[in-house]
Amino acid sequence: MPGEILDGTATAAAIYDRLTAEVGEFLAKYGRRPLLATVLVGDDPASHTYVKMKANRCREVGMLSRRIELPEATTTEELVATITSLSADLEVDGILLQHPVPPQIDERAAFEAIAPGKDVDGVTRTSFAMMSFDEGGFRSATPGGILALLDAYEVPISGRHAVVVGRSAILGRPVGMLLLARDATVTFCHSRTPDLAEQVARADIIVAAVGRPELIKGEWIKPGAVVVDAGYNPGNVGDVEYEAARRHASLITPVPGGVGPMTIATLLDQTMRAAEAHQTQSDRPLVGSLAGEVR
């Protein structure tokens, strides 16, 4: 019997319903709406699409979004200055730097300019450290979305063997640390792992996050394993050989409609948490000018 679908679209919709109610309560209490600032450098069409999607979701739940667009030739220093200014801006609750950035920019330096309290995409070293030590802070958005999706389907994590295929700073590494914090035994694999098929075959939970279409073959999947495909390639193809893997898996994410929707939902959820934290700070003024139209 084919594995059950881990439906990220439906799970994200439930998060948006909750956020809509929370934003309404926040507005009534504080006279302002949570605000997410997005920074986009250059003219990459996919990046523009992603930023537009995030702005639309903000509008749907009642949040504000502020879009900052910088030219392709922007320097690291100029980008850092922009982000530093947003970090100091009391009207801004969360900051998202859309990546990738143009090659002349030091992306890590730009990420580190985001104040930890506004790092709702979970990209700074501070956020990674706090997440790794299970000490709060903001999760990397896609890994956080993966954990939220597993929790929504009540997938047991403690004591399970999880194999993460991929080691990027914003996906593979943080999702492994989140699983480890939940008492999974975690194995990291990557492009130089010589026995990838054998490693995957031992996994109770597989997270594919390497960006290579159908790298993970269906025949590798242990019967009953949970498969999370966080890869996305042209033509809506994931990192996992979907139909073949579904014949073995107990639960599996589709591409699209699995992990992707959970990423934006997590970003907005963390923006809501950031706004609540900022508003409870004793020196935080009410910002009545932000109570009006959602941008």
* Under 8 Å between Cβ of 63 and 23: yes
Distance CA 143, CA 131 (A): 11
Torsion (CA) 238, 67, 96, 163 in degrees, nearest 10 = -10
Name the catalytic one among 98, 222, 239, 269.
98
Residues near 177 by beta carbon (within 8 Å), at least 6 away in sequence: 128, 131, 132, 186
The pair phi, psi for residue 189, each rounded to 5°, is -120, 165
Look at residue 214 and give its three-state secondary structure.
coil
Name the catalytic one among 54, 93, 118, 239.
54
Name the catalytic one among 93, 118, 119, 121.
121
54 counts as catalytic:
yes
Distance CA 292, CA 31 (A): 9
7 counts as catalytic:
no
104 counts as catalytic:
no
Active site residues: 54, 98, 121
